[in-house]
Amino acid sequence: MNKKHLPFFIYFAVIPLLSVISDLIFSVTNPPKTDSTYYFDFSLINQIVYFSVWVSITTSVVGIYLIIWYCKGEYEKISNFNVMMTTIISFNSVIFLVYWLGLVFSPKSIQGFSTPYKIIKSIVEHGITPLLFIFYYFFIWKNDKKYSTIDYIKYKSWYLAIIPGIYIIFYVTRSLMIHNYGRENDYIFNSNPYAQTNMWDNPIYKWLPIMILQIIVPAAFGIFYNYLSNINNIKFLDN
């Protein structure tokens, strides 16, 4: 395989995770004055409640996995490689779309501009990484194993429900525990990171559809990208 694939793998393995770790550390050592994350545990909580952080970690895990297989010289033998790539690009596309639409239509609801390191993390997490993955997906990577749209929907689209499903279970369980036993008025113990899915301030007909969309939208992106990868013939590098 062309050695020019390796820089992309290194970026995916290192940069998303590094941006999360940097924010985690700097939020403790140099916290914003209005922030309550100056304890490590609080800073850690403030990271893992956001889906974008889950996507960054997942992207880095996949990047590390790719590097290992690349170094073994068995990159092309990865099982379900195209499904894995489609899953990651879908997750990154979701956080890219939601973030930048929110920045345009509701800028006050977007966090991450209080310090330079948070700005860098936001740009890397919601801008550079998704765009770079899209570039690699369409212009570098060659999809050697194609699935028809129907087959992908039937047999592979459920992969895209795993991470969002676990995330929803996590933050709903956390919200229930904090609401019933925690300190709801404390900033860091806010029961939900997103106002739209706050079960205590919104009626069920508002937050439940959004939770469902958190699973449906990545799957829809996956179906869309799978279709495009089947018809895409543009490559900047020879595989």
> What are all long-range contacts of 148-153, with beta carbons under 8 Å and residues at least 24 apart?
148/230, 149/223, 149/226, 149/227, 152/222, 152/223, 152/226, 153/223
Q: Is 80 in contact with 219 (CB distance < 8 Å)?
A: no
Q: What's the whole-number mean pLDDT along residues 206-231?
A: 92
- Name the more confident of 35 and 18: 18
CA distance linking residue 63 with residue 237, whole number of Å: 19
For the chain, the average pLDDT equals: 84
Tokens of residue 161, six digits:
């429900």
pLDDT of residue 179: 79
* Beta carbons of 161 and 215 less than 8 angstroms apart: yes
| CB-based contact 192:199 (threshold 8 Å) | yes
pLDDT tops 80 at residue 45: yes
Q: Is the entire prediction scored with pTM above 0.75?
A: yes
103-138 pLDDT, tens digit per residue, is 887 766 666 666 788 888 889 999 999 999 999 998
Asked whether residue 239 carries a pLDDT value surpassing 50, the answer given is no
